[in-house]
Amino acid sequence: MSTLAPAGQAATDIAWITWVMLAGAVLLMALMSALWLHASHPARAEPLRWSDQRILIGGGLILPLSVIVLLLIYGVRSGQSMLPVDAPDLQVRAIGHQWWWQFEYTGPDGRVVRLANELHLPVDVRVDVLIESVDVIHSFWVPALGGKLDAIPGRTNTLRLMPTRPGRYQGQCAEFCGAGHAHMRFEVTVHEAGAYANWLAAAPAAGEVRSDGSKP
Amino acid sequence: MSSENADLNQTRLEALSAAFATPPGWGRLAAVNHSIIGLRFIATSLVFFVIGGLLSMLIRAQLAIPGNRFLDHDSYNQIFTMHGTVMMFLFAIPLIEGLALYFIPKYLGARDLSFPRLSAFGYWCYLFGGATLLLAMFAGVAPDSGWFMYTPLSSGEYSPGINADVWLIGVTFVEVSAIAFGIELVATVLKVRTGGMSLNRMPLFGWYILITALMMVVGFPPLILGSILLELERAFGWPFFDVALGGDPLLWQHLFWLFGHPEVYIIFLPAAGAVSMMIPTFARRPIVGYPWIVAAIIGTGFISFGLWVHHMFTVGIPQLALVFFSAASMFVAVPTAIQFFAWLATLWKGRPVRSLPMLYLFGFLFTFVCGGLTGVMLALVPFNWQAHDTHFVVAHLHFVLIGGFVFPLLAAAYYWLPLMSGRAPSETMGKWGFWLIFIGFNLTFLHMHLTGLLGMPRRVYTYSTGLGWDGLNLVSSIGGFVLTIGFAMFFLDLVVRLWAGRNSEGNPWQAGTLEWSLAHPPAAYNFASQPEVQSREPLWEQQDIERQIRDGEGYLPQVRHGWQETLGVHAVTGKPDQIILLPGPSYLPLIAAALLGVFFLGFLFKLYWISAVGAVVALLVGLRWAWITGLDRDWPKLDAGRGIELPLHAQVRDAPGWWGMAVGLLVNGTFYITLLFGYLYLWAVAPGWPPPTFIDSPILLAFLSALAIAVSAFALDRSVRGNADGRPPTLTLIVALVSALVATIALSVELATGIAPPSSHAYAATTTFLLGYCALHTGLTAVMSGHALLRWRHGYISPLRSLDLRVIRLWAGYTAVVTVIALALVHGLPKLLGGVA
């Protein structure tokens, strides 16, 4: 469930962003604390002789602005690459209910498979998850694969994922949705190339769908 | 000074004490003095802080181990919702209000605020609203949808109980006090200062509070509107947020965060203001970069309204908007950096001394910078997609709020306590408290960033083992208890000191601002005479100023007619331009707040006739309140001391009352613009449009309403001008009254006949609400015109005393503009955008 052990493209990119920003933040923290401790120390040497302008322009404008601009360039480019701009290889519907997820797959033959709390994806394929809700707002999140996106009644949000490592991962609802929020988990299986088609062909048409909201 | 003069001075001070006294016993309920009201706000908010803190202990106890059965989901959801609600609405904001009410007149060299009764009214609203939430919690029906109450979870269908109504009604009741505060403080900072205090000599704390008050004036109306709309949906089924009937749950999120993000800066800025007062004192030199800081405060105020969407990065909004709000969210770091480097430079260029407040200020620096940096991280959209709604955000917001609010105010508490309590500081327990709080805080929240990155969402009442969260949570829970012990230490220190501390007097920190010239604790009238100030740090720059104040060599040294007087100045230059007569103790604020409580409780228990009665009686009390203010005869200019004569405030153009109405209309206008935003937003964005039917009423009716209210506003303008020329305003006021009534009736007819039932579609609901808003305003214009007519007949209005008329003219002008715009939109949009389903 960790964002720092990524198994998908977006999650990998974001994990890098996280490490870079954390390092920068620690550096800036250390700098500010050191400056403050020195400046407020009664026994330090002579008062600073720089002009007010110089300190304020340097510390108040140039320092934050340069950090922000660099960060924005990095972040916006990276964010752009995570959006579903090109056509996906595969689409899966994820429908939030209080308090479970329904996943809907359409096979190449047009057969529709519906499963509760069980998401299956092929590795190294661009997947669009079409996220909807039938009741309150939920949020679809598989930390190992990528960021989260809300399930909002009346809308369909599209989340682009691309798993890069086969395995089993955990997903969960990230937006508080009432009594069962803490238990609104689901299991993600990323299949080896080719294995996904076999799984889909063998999957029961309406696996474990619960309509009453009881825990599957 | 000879002993005879000393006796005379003593008599003078006793007269001041008598004029500013609050009656004992039950009479305390009538108190309006700013020090008393300020202390009440502070004490009440601290009680709520303890309650909020105990709730957080329950949260940490539940999360200490995986699969804990200490709390079930129902109690946990109520507890975390109440923890957030209490800390934000009942602790942080009211504490700021209390400190500003208490200190602003003292910093500005004034004797009280511009509208003392208004702040007393605000206090009662806060107390009653907070008590409502608290009683609901003890009854086990506290709100449980999270402190930002997202629809549809908080709507009637998914939260059928009274819980969500408690939140909407209790918080709105409390917000009345925030609005009262905003109006009060803007008018006070601009008008009620001492002579010579131009805006650029004003202590920075005054600037911080001015901008904070303006932000409250503009920031709270969206929340109030949202709460009213959601309560209307819950109570009467008006589907503003129901997607099946043309509403949109995201409208709530926009309204909530339009308030919610500025709120963070509303909390931070006053605390930063306290920092900006303490740093120069302990650096023994004036602040570096005063104009830079003022620009930074104003910049923060503006930018903070442009980044609310960063709370909504995961709702699925267009990339371009994401980039804009991401950039805005980061740029708010710039004014903050300016302030930090100004503080740093002040210390570095000064001769800093060690002190207990400085220790807490280090805690502030470390914690708040850390929270600011994680804030910049969260502003980066891709990172936000992962970290949003996890414990990373929980950690971030506690670093920002405890770092940017609690630490600086702990420093300020130790700094200000000698003045407020008359008791000298003791270092030992304060140091123990600091280290316990600092270590406990970081032990709770520092590694919680990691807990979030490891995937733990916020607002889960339980979690399973094996996800790497167990140890982290256990340490957080232990840290939470250390933190609590630290706060207990602080409160213990407070009690011990108030009880048995050494007496304090003079200027213990050798500060440079006026409040330190006061007695410890200050007298009810603050200043024995109001000084003429010539610099930003008068106690450092102006020799002998403390003696001059004490011996009555400043402005308004004498009491006449038992009046409470304070100086009014030109907003920018600080040149004295009027003598403001302050109102004395009164039960009206308490009665008005209690009646407002009847209105709100009627809504809570769905007894709408009780609400209606409460509203009508409250209006009558409001009219009575307005009736007994002002003067019933003209006065000549009066001696103001230091050789100048000034008119009374009721006889000048630029009276605080006029500013009060102007700021009040800013509140109202923000409410209205937010309403139009909601109207257009639903039209443009919500699924389920166009509606089955549009408005269907004769266009002539709309023209009649618009014409009538325009005539009313025009007639009021004529009555102001006529009155100034010495002509009685009787006829023009009657015309204003009648035409405002005609407009009200025409609007009501349109409401009753032209629109489908509001519960049928969000279009009908918003249109009804918009036209209802206009009808309410035209109706009030009529009431005010009638009130002015009576006031004129009883001699409260004269060519010199025109404030009543000018205030109503302002109101009527506003009403005419909003009504005409609303009618144009309501009738024009269907033709423009058309297409009935």
Contact criterion met (CB < 8 Å) for B333 and A64: yes
Q: Does the structure show a pLDDT above 80 at B562?
A: yes
Please choose, from the candidates B271, B291, B285, the residue with its C-alpha nearest in 3D space to the C-alpha of residue B345.
B285
pLDDT of residue A204: 81
Q: Which residue has the higher pLDDT, A203 or A168?
A: A168
Q: What is the pLDDT of residue A44?
A: 83
- Nearest CB among B288, B341, B389 relative to A139 is that of B389
**How many CB contacts within 8 angstroms connect chain A with chain B?**
248
Cβ of A128: how many Cβ atoms within 10 Å?
Answer: 17
> Comparing B44-53, B314-323, B519-528, which segment has the lowest mean pLDDT?
B314-323
pLDDT of the residue at A213: 44
Most confident of A119-128, B308-317, B417-426: A119-128
Mean pLDDT for the stretch of residues B91-96:
98
A35 vs B: CB within 8 A: yes
Backbone phi, psi, residue B421, to 5°:
-105, -20
Average pLDDT, integer, range B427-447: 96
- Confidence band, pLDDT 50/70/90 cuts, at residue B529: very high
User: What's the average model confidence in pLDDT over A88-97?
Assistant: 96
Confidence (pLDDT) at B407: 98
Q: Is pLDDT of A46 > 90? A: no
Which residues in chain B are contacts of A3 at CB distance < 8 A?
386-387, 453-455
Task: Name the nearest CA neighbour of B285 among B28, B511, B131.
Answer: B511
pLDDT tens sequence across B569-601: 999 999 999 999 999 999 999 999 999 999 999
Mean pLDDT calculated for residue range B383-401:
97
Asked if the Cβ–Cβ distance from B347 to A39 is below 8 Å, we say yes
Collect all residues of chain B within an 8 Å Cβ-Cβ radius of residue A42: 351-354
pLDDT at B89 over 90: yes
- Quick one: angle between helices B73-85 and B34-63, nearest 10? 150
Is A176 close to B458, i.e. CB distance below 8 A? yes
Q: Which residues of A touch B292 (CB under 8 A)?
A: 52, 56, 60
CA separation (Å) from B594 to B126, B597, B602, B621? 11, 5, 12, 11
**pLDDT score of A208 more than 70:** no
Is A3 close to B353, i.e. CB distance below 8 A?
Answer: no
> Does A18 contact B292 at a Cβ distance shorter than 8 Å?
no
Q: How far is A201 from chain B (nearest CA, A)?
A: 32
Q: Which residue of B has its CA nearest to A175?
A: B389
A1 has a chain B CB within 8 A of its CB: yes
Q: The pTM is what?
A: 0.96
Give strand pairing partners of B565: B581
Minimum-distance CB partner of A52 among B243, B345, B390: B345
Residues A11/A166, Cβ–Cβ less than 8 Å = no
pLDDT tops 60 at residue B100: yes
* Residue B837: predicted pLDDT: 44
> Residue B164: CA atoms inside 13 Å, Cβ hemisphere, count?
26
Beta-carbon contacts of B75 under 8 Å, excluding residues fewer than 6 positions away, are none
Q: How far is B70 from chain A (nearest CA, A)?
A: 15
- Most distant CA pair in chain A, distance: 81
B685: which 2 tokens?
Answer: 């964005």
pLDDT-based confidence at residue A205 (cuts at 50, 70, 90): confident
pLDDT at B4: 82
pLDDT tens for B632-684 read 899 999 999 999 999 999 999 999 999 999 999 999 999 999 999 999 999 99
**At residue A212, does pLDDT exceed 60?**
no
C-alpha distances in angstroms, A196 versus A90, A112, A191, A212? 11, 15, 5, 29
Nearest-CA residue of chain A relative to B367?
A: A29
Q: Looking at A109-113, A122-126, B248-252, which range is the least confident one?
A: A109-113
In angstroms, what CA-CA distances link B466 with A170, B60, B248, B463?
Answer: 12, 19, 39, 9
Q: How far apart are CA B158 and CA B143, in angstroms?
A: 13
DSSP B258-276: HHHHHHHHHHHHHHHHHHH
Cα–Cα distance, B395 to B450 (Å, whole number): 9
Do the Cβ atoms of A169 and A6 come closer than 8 Å?
A: no
CB contact under 8 A, A181 and B459: yes
pLDDT digits (tens, 9 = 90+) for B752-769: 999 999 999 999 999 999
Phi, psi of A187 (to 5 degrees): -105, 135
Tell whether A65 lies on the interface with B, counting CB pairs under 8 A. yes
- pLDDT exceeds cutoff 80 at B1: no
- Please say if the pLDDT value at position B84 is more than 90: yes
Residue with tokens 């089955």: B692
A12 touches chain B (CB under 8 A): no
With beta carbons under 8 A apart, name residues in chain A contacting B467: 1-2, 170
**A147 → closest Cβ in B327, B373, B386:** B386
Chain A residue numbers touching B282 (CB-CB < 8 A): 40
A145 and chain B in contact, CB less than 8 A: no
* Number of CB atoms found within 10 A of residue A207's CB: 15
Percentage of residues in chain B having pLDDT higher than 70: 99
Per-residue pLDDT at B834 = 67
Nearest beta carbon to residue B453 from set A18, A52, A61: A18
Is pLDDT at A185 greater than 60 in this prediction? yes
Task: Give the pLDDT of residue A207.
Answer: 60
Task: Compare CB distances from B382 to A64, A78, A175 and report the shortest one's residue.
Answer: A78
Mark residue B172 as left, alpha or beta (left: phi above 0; alpha: psi -120 to 50; beta: remaining): alpha
Instruction: Please name which of B514, B446, B440, B522 lies closest in space to residue B483, comparing C-alpha atoms.
Output: B440
Q: What is the rounded CA–CA span in Å between residue B424 and residue B496?
A: 11
Q: Which A-chain residues 76-135 have CB contacts (< 8 A) with chain B? A: 76, 78-80, 82-83, 98, 135
Half-sphere exposure of B460 (CA within 13 A, CB side): 30
Tell me the C-alpha to C-alpha distance, in Å, between residue A51 and each of A56, B280, B281, B391, B561: 9, 17, 20, 42, 54
Q: Are B674 and B664 in contact (CB under 8 A)?
A: no
Q: How confident is the model at residue B176 (pLDDT cuts 50, 70, 90)?
A: very high
Give phi and psi for B150, each to the nearest 5: -60, 135
Of residues A80, A84, A86, A31, the one with CA closest to residue A59: A31
CB B19 within 8 A of CB B577: no
Q: Minimal Cα–Cα distance from B343 to chain A, Å?
A: 9
d(CA B737, CA B784): 8
Per the prediction, chain B carries an average pLDDT of 95
Mean pLDDT, residues A67-83 taken together:
91
| Rounded Cα gap, residues A70 and A60, in angstroms | 16
CB contact under 8 A, A56 and B352: no
Q: Is the per-residue pLDDT at B271 higher than 50?
A: yes
Q: CA–CA separation, A195 vs A199, rounded Å?
A: 6
Does A211 score more than 70 pLDDT?
no
Our CA-based measurement puts residue A105 at a distance from the nearest CA of chain B, in whole angstroms, of 22
**Average pLDDT estimate for B349-364:** 95
| Interface mutation vs chain B, best among A19, A27, A36, most B CBs within 10 Å | A36
pLDDT of residue B819: 98
Two tokens, residue B799: 């060519």
Q: Report which residue type is found at B312.
A: M
- Encode pLDDT of B313-326 as tens digits: 999 888 888 999 99
Token pair of B217 as six digits: 């004036």
A147 confidence band (pLDDT: 50, 70, 90): very high
When pLDDT is cut at 50, 70 and 90, the band that residue A210 belongs to is low
* Position A216 pLDDT exceeds 60: no
Write down the pLDDT at residue B748. 97
Q: What is the mean pLDDT of residues B803-808?
A: 94
